[in-house]
Amino acid sequence: MSLPAVVPAPAAIQPETGAPFRLGAGTPMTGDADAAAALAAIVEVRTGLSPAGSGREGAIELRVDAPGGGEPESYRIAVDEASVVITGADAAGLFYGVQTLGQLIARDGDAWIIPAVTIDDAPRFAYRGVMLDVARHFHDVATVKGYIDRAASLKMNALHLHLTDDQGWRIQLDSRPALTERASGTAVGGDPGGFYTKADYREIVEYAASRHMIVVPEIDMPGHTHAVGLAYPELAETPVISDHMRDIIRDYGGDEPRAGAPYDGMAVGFSSLKIHDEATYDFVADVFGELAAMTPGPYLHFGGDESLSTSDEDFDVFVTRASAIIADLGKTPVAWHEAGSASQIADTTIGQYWGFVTPQEGAGEKARRFVDNGAQLILSPADAIYLDMKYPNGPALGLTWANGPTSVERAYAWEPSDVVPGVDDSGILGVEAPLWTETVRTAADIDTMAFPRIAAAAEAAWSPATGESDLRTWSSFRQRVGAMGPLWTSMGIGFHPSDEIPWASE
C-alpha cells in the first residue's frame, strides 16, 4: 500500500486499509472556526467545492486538544470512510494539520477523496524560517503576504525581512524620518524603490500571525549601510573600494559607490557606520527601540555580515554594543555568523550561519561561538538553501557565487546536525531559507526561485533527521514534491518545473 505524498515528511504516517473519505459540495466541518476557514479555503482552491455545509453524511472535525501534553505545533490526522479528524496540540498544530490535509486531497475520476490514513506529526526544530530581501528590490505588502501564505503551507513559522541594505531603507520610523524620505527610492539596477509605512508593517505582522508566523526584522549594520549615509551622512564612513569590489562591479555592472549618492549596484562590503562616534549608538538605540515596539516576536536581527571595510577591532566594538542595546530592550538579538568573532557579544545572541555546508575559512568556528556562549544557531547554508542561486538548466534569474547553480537535489541533500562541527540538534534553533533579490523583481520571480527548493528547506527544518525516517531520502522527496504540482498550480504558485522532479499532472 503506497503512502500518500506529504511535504515536509511527517514524523509518522500509516496508510489504512479502509475506503477513502469522499469530499462533496457541503461536506460538514465542525470545531475550531479559524482552522475551518483555512481548510475551506484550501478545499475550494484545490477542488472548487465549498465545504462547511450540511448536505451529506460524514464530517471533518477540527479541534485543539492536547490531553497528553502534546509537543507544541504537533497534530494528529485520522481519516476513514466516515470521517476526518484533525487534532492539534495547539492552534498552530491544528493549522499545520490543515495544511497536510490539503496535500492529501486527490482526484478520483470526477470526484475528490482523502485517503484513509493516520498521521502523527511534530516539528524537529522550533524555528523554521524564510527570508525575503526587500532592500535590493522592494516587494509590496501584497507580495509579502503571498509569500507568507506559501511558506506557511510548508509549516514555516518565521518570516525574516531584510529591510535595509546599501541600495535602500525600507521601513518608516518616526524617530528617524529621513531614512525613508531620502534613502528609500532606489533599488538594484536603477529600479524604483519603496518602503513600508508603520501601518504596512503592522499589516504584515498581523497577517503573519494569522498564519502562525512571526516576523524577524533585520536592520543590517555596521556594513551594508550606504543608504543610512544618504539620510544621515554624519554617521557613515566614506566608501572603501577594494579590488574585489571592483571585480564585482566589472562582472555585474553599475558604478562605484560614492558618498551621498544612491547606490544601485551589487558590490558588498564597502560601507560602514562610524564605530567610535556616540551618535552611531544613539542611532542604533532609536532604530531598534522603535522596531522593538512594532514587533511582537522575540527576535531583532542586526546583520553583522560582510563588514569588509570595518577593522576587526572596530567590528568587535560595534557588535558588543549593538547586541547589548537589543538585549536591553528585552529582545533576543540575531546576527549573521561573522558576529561570533566578537569577544563580548550579548550571550543571548542567536547566530545565523550562511557559510557552506562544509564550512570554510573559520566560518564554523565563528558560528560555534554562539553555542559556546549558551545560545543557538539558525542554519542557512548558502550552497544548499539560498533560494536566489541559479538552477541548473533553469531561467536566467539568480546568481552562482555559492557554488551555484544549485540543484533541487543539492538543496535537499544536507543534514543540519552535520554542518557546524561540534553543534548538534541541541545547539540548533532551526533552519532558514534566504531569498536575496538582486535579480528578483516580481512575485512571479519569487515563486520561480523558491519553488520547489523551499520544500527541501522545509523538510530539513520540520522532518525527522536524515536516517531516522524512510521518507528522508532524495528518492522519496522528489516523488513527494512531484505530487505537489497540481496543488501548487491550483494555489497559483508558478514553480520552476525542474527536470529533476517527476511532476504529477493531477
> What's the CA gap between 177 and 182, in Å, rounded?
9
Cell numbers linked to 20: 477513502
Q: Which of 54, 29, 55 is nearest to 42 (CA)?
A: 29
Q: How do strand 117-121 and strand 75-79 relate by DSSP bridges? A: antiparallel
DSSP for 188-225? GGG-B---B-HHHHHHHHHHHHHTT-EEEEEEEESSS-
Ordered alpha helix ranges (H), 241-277: 243-252
- ∠ at Cα 98 (96, 103), nearest 5°? 100
Phi/psi for 352 (5° steps) reads -115, 110
Of 16, 181, 306, 365, which is the active-site residue? 306
Q: How do strand 59-64 and strand 83-88 relate by DSSP bridges? A: parallel
306 is catalytic: yes
Kindly report the three-state secondary structure assignment for every residue of 109-150: CCEEEECCEEEEECCCCCEEEEEEECCCCCCCHHHHHHHHHH
Phi/psi for 231 (5° steps) reads -90, -40
Residue 27, Cβ neighbours under 10 Å: how many?
Answer: 25
CA distances from 109 to 45, 106, 112, 113, 498 (A): 18, 10, 8, 10, 27
Q: Is 505 exposed, middle or buried (0-12, 13-18, 19+ CB in 10 A)?
A: exposed
Let me know: does 338 contact 304? Beta carbons within 8 Å: yes
Phi/psi for 495 (5° steps) reads -70, 155
> What's the CA gap between 148 and 328, in Å, rounded?
30
Active-site residue list: 306
